[in-house]
Amino acid sequence: MSSKKKLVEICHKVYLNGFVAAYDGNISCRTSNNTLLITRSGVCKGDVSEKDIVEIDLNGNNFIGKQKISTEHKIHLYAYQKRKEVKAVVHCHPTYATAFALIGQGLDNHYLPEVFLTIGKVPLCKYATPSTDGVHKSLDPYINYSWAMLLQNHGAVTLGISLDDAYFKMEKLEHAAKIILLARLIGKPKELSKKNINDILKISKKVYGIIPDKRNI
C-alpha cells in the first residue's frame, strides 16, 4: 500500500472512532525521501482522499500545488526534526483524553501494564494558542522521548515508527483515558507499584521486544 493510501486509511479510522469531529485533527507521515505527507487544512478526516494529502519539505514548503496545509503542521515538523525514528504523527481531539487535558491533568500515573509499556507517561503540555509557534514549543520538555502528549485545552498528539503505530498509540491513549475516568467514578484506581513496574521491565525486552525509555517511566 502506498503511503498516501495508508494515510487516507488512518484518517478514516480516527474519524470513525470519534477521535475528531468536523475538520479537526491532522495526520502525517515521513517519506523515504525525507519529505512529509500531511492532510490539507479544512477537510473532514472521514472524507479525506489522496487529493487531500499535501507533500511538504521539513521547512513546511509545498512541493506540488497550492493547497493549504494543516494549521498545526508545525507540531509535525517539530517531531520529525527532533527525532529521526519518528515516521508518523497523529494529532486529534479524542473525547476522554482531551477531558483530562481540559482539567489540566496529564496521564502520568501507571495503572495498566500494556499502556505503561507501549506509551509510558503521557505528560500535559502547557496551553498555547492553536496554530501558533507556542503549540510546538509547548512540547519541548517531552518531545525527545515521549510517544504521547496531551495539549492543555486542546487535544492529544501521538508519535510512531509507522502510521499504524502512531494511530494505535492514539487509540490506546483514548481507551486508557476512558478506563481511568470510569474507575475514578466508581472508586480510587490502584496504581502499579514500583515492584509491579520493575517486574514488567525485567521481562519487557524478552517477552514484548520493548525497552522503555527510563525518562518515560
For 113-130, what is each residue's pLDDT tens digit? 999 999 999 999 999 998
Averaged pLDDT for residues 19-43 = 95
CA–CA gap between residue 96 and residue 211 (Å, rounded): 28
Name residue, grid cell 487516507: 8
Averaged pLDDT for residues 174-180 = 98
From residue 161, how far is each of 129, 147, 168 by CA, in Å? 28, 10, 11
Name residue, grid cell 483530562: 100
Averaged pLDDT for residues 2-30 = 97
CB 93 within 8 A of CB 20: yes
Averaged pLDDT for residues 20-26 = 96
From residue 205, how far is each of 84, 86, 117, 119, 136 by CA, in Å? 22, 20, 10, 15, 32
* Of the candidates 61, 64, 60, the residue with the CA atom closest to the CA atom of residue 50: 64
CA–CA gap between residue 174 and residue 95 (Å, rounded): 8
Do strands 26-30 and 155-160 pair parallel, antiparallel, or not at all (unpaired)?
unpaired
In the numeric block, which cell numbers belong to residue 93? 481531539
CB 215 within 8 A of CB 123: no
Percent of the chain with pLDDT over 70: 98
Active site members: 72
pLDDT single digits (tens) 60-85 = 887 665 678 888 999 999 999 999 99
Torsion 99-83-13-50 (CA) sign: positive
- Flag whether pLDDT at 140 surpasses 80: yes
CB 149 within 8 A of CB 126: no
CA–CA gap between residue 139 and residue 89 (Å, rounded): 13
Q: Per DSSP, what are the bridge partners of residue 159?
A: 89
> Strand, coil or helix: what is 215?
helix
- Flag whether pLDDT at 108 surpasses 90: yes
Per-residue model confidence (pLDDT) at position 71: 83
Per-residue model confidence (pLDDT) at position 64: 65
The pTM score is 0.94
Q: Of residues 162 and 131, which shows the higher confidence score?
A: 162
Q: Per DSSP, what are the bridge partners of residue 56?
A: 36, 62
